[in-house]
Amino acid sequence: MKAIVVQQEVEGRPLLWQDVPDPAFGPDEVLINIHAAALNRADLAQRAGNYPPPPGASDILGLEMAGTITALGAEVSGWQVGDRVCALLPGGGYAEKVNVPAQLLLPLPEDWSFEQGAALPEVFLTAYVNLFMEADLQAGETVLIHGGASGVGTAAIQLAHQAGCRVFTTAGTDDKVAYCRQLGADLAINYREEDFVERILAEADGVDVILDMVGANYLESNIRLLKLRGRLVFIATMGGGRAEIDIWRLMGRRLRLIGSVLRARPVAEKIEIKERFMAQFWKKFLDGTLSPIIDSVYPVAQAEQAHAHMQQNQNIGKIILKIRD
């Protein structure tokens, strides 16, 4: 098959679409012909050599895809060759084929394109596990979602809004802020133009949960904003990974700080996350209340341009690579 291979030895680590061996698949796995894959910020870090795949995972980039099943492992039941599916991957998405544990598959709704399917798994499952399982976000609570226009942000805003929460968000341009409002954010703040702490404290007495991908730069502000028993979930460190904390402030307000990754979790945990996500939200995807947000679609041969678009923070929602029709 063909796949995108990072040319590690060449300056700039260019992405080349070239021949690689086909993936093998185990008895509890299916083999999939990939039609579309989606970019994630982690792909940029992996390409740069800063985010190696977990042990046993493919070293090909790509944490999610949509396609059709072409072969079933001996122990797989409930799926047929030809079924249209999408799934989370620990790697291997920028390719023509991939193997996936059958229990991790999500069925593509009939009227969905493969591009829509590819845009769903990583960001919706990340938003779901961190808001509802790690932070135990409840209806009626207020949540602050940083990076509101990111892939994860666009998923998190929609899920929290549908769950009956008051949603505050930050983003870096007026267009992004306007889009976050359309997705259901009650308050969206352009953090380049306004102090988000002051703005939030003018609207509310703080927030119950924060989904944070900025890290050190926002730590002081985030802690200031959390109400009694507030929860802060770190999912990335785009603004630095080291900071000082005044532990007394955590104690006094009984705050909880939570760190979380999805990719390195065991398959059984990912299956549980997928099942709980589907039980709570799948109907809303089928009736169109929730949907993945697609920023742009690139032919896979233009993966380089797709990466540049993400690197420049230009996307609202997901950037897709089209692998085949």
Q: Which residues bind ligand NAP (CB under 6 A)?
A: 40-42, 122-123, 126, 147, 149-152, 171-173, 176, 213-214, 235-236, 238-239, 260-262, 310, 313, 315
Question: 69 or 236, CB closer to ligand NAP?
Answer: 236
Element counts in the chain: helices (H) and strands (E): 10, 15
Q: How far is the CB of 211 from ligand NAP (least distance, A)?
A: 9
Question: 174 or 198, CB closer to ligand NAP?
Answer: 174
Is residue 35 within 8 Å of residue 67, measured between CB atoms?
yes
Q: How far is the CB of 228 from ligand NAP (least distance, A)?
A: 26
Question: 13 or 324, CB closer to ligand NAP?
Answer: 13
Measure the CA–CA gap between 229 and 288, rounded to whole angstroms. 34
Measure the CA–CA gap between 85 and 68, rounded to whole angstroms. 6
Q: Beta strands 84-88 and 142-145: pairing type?
A: unpaired
Q: How far is the CB of 125 from ligand NAP (least distance, A)?
A: 8
What is the DSSP code (8-state) at residue 147? Answer: S
Q: How far is the CB of 50 from ligand NAP (least distance, A)?
A: 11
Question: 107 or 172, CB closer to ligand NAP?
Answer: 172
- Burial of 244 per CB tally in 10 Å (0-12, 13-18, 19+): exposed
Q: How far is the CB of 274 from ligand NAP (least distance, A)?
A: 14
Measure the CA–CA gap between 92 and 60, rounded to whole angstroms. 5
Question: 50 or 80, CB closer to ligand NAP?
Answer: 50
Read off the tokens for 275: 């099942």
Question: 3 or 236, CB closer to ligand NAP?
Answer: 236
Q: How far is the CB of 169 from ligand NAP (least distance, A)?
A: 9
Determine the distance from the C-alpha atom of residue 151 to the mean position of all C-alpha atoms in its chain, rounded to a whole number: 6
CA distances from 209 to 42, 142, 159, 270 (A): 23, 7, 14, 22
Q: CA-based angle 49:51:56, to the nearest 5?
A: 110
Measure the CA–CA gap between 259 and 68, rounded to whole angstroms. 34
Q: How far is the CB of 134 from ligand NAP (least distance, A)?
A: 10
